[in-house]
Structure 1
Amino acid sequence: MKHESRSVQKQAQPAAQRKRTPSFLCFPGMHNILNFVRLCLYLAVVAWAAIVLGLACNFDKMLVASDLTRFVPLAIFIAATTMLVMIALLLAPIALRHNPITTLYELSSIAFLSVFWLALGCYTATAEMGDVECYADEDETEPIEFAAFTTDIYHAQFRALEGFALINVFLLLGFLFFMLLQAYIQQRKGFRTVWSTPLALYPWFGGRRRNNRSNSTKLPPPVTAKGKSAPAMSSKPTAVPATKPMPAQPVLTAPKPAATKPAVYRSASARTQTQPASRPKPTTAKSTPAVTSATTKPKNYPGQYTRPAAGIPQTKAAPGQSNYMYHVPPAQPAAKSGQRSGAAPAPPPKRR
């Protein structure tokens, strides 16, 4: 029962979450046929480069350096460089925890090697070294007749070196153009991380989102009963529940300033006219606290002008005086001792 539940859980687990163990034939991220083709092509290029390196070393050992053997050091350098670069590209995903060789660097390396192999193939194909005769001495009188190296063997090895160089040119240039086309298609679709991702780890033909995230981001629910496996997660995105629209909030506006009455300018004659006292306002039922005279009556300072109350007759100023002269009532006689200030004076006693 436990074995069955484990197998069901393994099947329900998404393929993107399964751990891939690197090996010599299965690198991390090898989940499509393109990486397998890449592996086979790199191994073939390394094999042809090893053959060219062996033939060039044999020529360097058997032949005397001259103008006809200039291709030998060039072939040794190109073959050795190709083997080092290809082995580094194959072992980088395994030896390094974070692979720094991105798609841009890998395609640049392949283009660099393609130019080298193209130069070697064109040089050996157009040269006349394949039609020369090999001699045993420098006098060029006796043809070489060694059992391990003759003129025919030299011609065959030279043609083999030329053929393997051209094969590497076709393999590298074909793979380079194909990967450049695929990278351009991915960039046109909106996946701009294609250049900054290692070529072996990028899902060239797999399903993915534009934001390079997997569809399943939630963990499966835990198993609560024995014999029951966790339900498989669906890769389809769940629908977002509809939410009620938020009520519109009132817009706060600044209060309008109170309208002020325009100032009215009157002439001096209008100012001197008497104005009737204003009528008192009707009282309401609401009681208000009594206001003392100390709080309402302003203080009078000596020499300060006080405007007369309403109802006091005002007289017109005499010629030569200011129009703002008002009538001043006659002064009251001074209060006698024992009389309160402001009280009316007592009448004089009558004589009998």
Structure 2
Amino acid sequence: MEHNIEASMSNIMPAPFARSLYYHMARIRRFEDRVVTLVDDNEIAGVCHEYSGQEAVAVGICGALTTSDIVTSTHRGHGHTLAKGGDVGRMFAELLARTGGYNKGRGGSMHIADVGIGIFGANGIVGAGAPIACGAAHKFKAARENRVAVSFFGDGAINQGVLHEAMNLAAIWDLPVIFVCENNQYAISTPLKEVTILDPYVRAQSYGMPGVCVDGMDVEAVYHAALTATERARSGKGPTFIECQTYRYFGHYTGERHMKMNYRSQEELDRWKLRDPITIWAERMMQSGLCAQEEIEAIDAEVNIEIDRGVEFARSSPPPNQAEALDCMYAVPYPNTPAWGVES
């Protein structure tokens, strides 16, 4: 089955595109499910930040982009890369620290990048992707390229100075940037309402750009907000801020599953899980006649096979050679630096 996340400009969503939205959300969820297993089995060293529950944001936003548009990602970035067309095998290989990974096993979960498909890198520094997106957008505008840059960040970044500097810069220069706040309600364990008064989208409006808030559990709502924002950016009218109200179904990172933290109530978790974005979209497609139950089951089966093959690829890929540890660096090593493992 051929899947293309690029959007049709029709006001009526074509059935193949609707099914592709489901495919990409299911793909992200199954990927994260397998990541947890691999972490628990110690095949992935350390921890990862799961994207489960937030799939509608990445897929809805990237559904309005073209392959030439770019995104900057976050520490919780698996979903962004996969929604933009990332390869699951290379993703798993990177997490398993194998040479077949996107960064040849050197970057790991928080630093996956693929410039070829417009992924200008995940980033472990909160809010740090925003100025990078502005830099790309400035180039697009200067070169008169009809391209858009998207900066993803969480609600924990909303008080970071670098984000506000980037928004101000984008506004005064009318840069083709879309700022996407994935408001999953918590910065690690701190509720957003305890550290800021105004909603993020309201604060963004003070920079003179449109600030909108959408249901981040509804892929269709996110997609239409993104479509409006991309059309504005491509027409030279500048940036847009989209706040997506969403929720992560598990802890801040995989290790939290074993820490018995209780900053979220079971009632809250149950309430948000009733609004699972994948289930909601499957039901809406069937009710609208865009997809039958059998087609959804076929997509699920296809995704499961893709995930299994991705893990097989990662496991068969060799680990990095210690002698090549200093290769692929942006900076030239200091003079007279001894080779890895060789005493001076």
TM-score by length of 1: 0.22
Bigger strand fraction: 2
TM-score by length of 2: 0.22
Higher relative CO (CA 8 A, sep ≥ 6), structure 1 or 2?
2
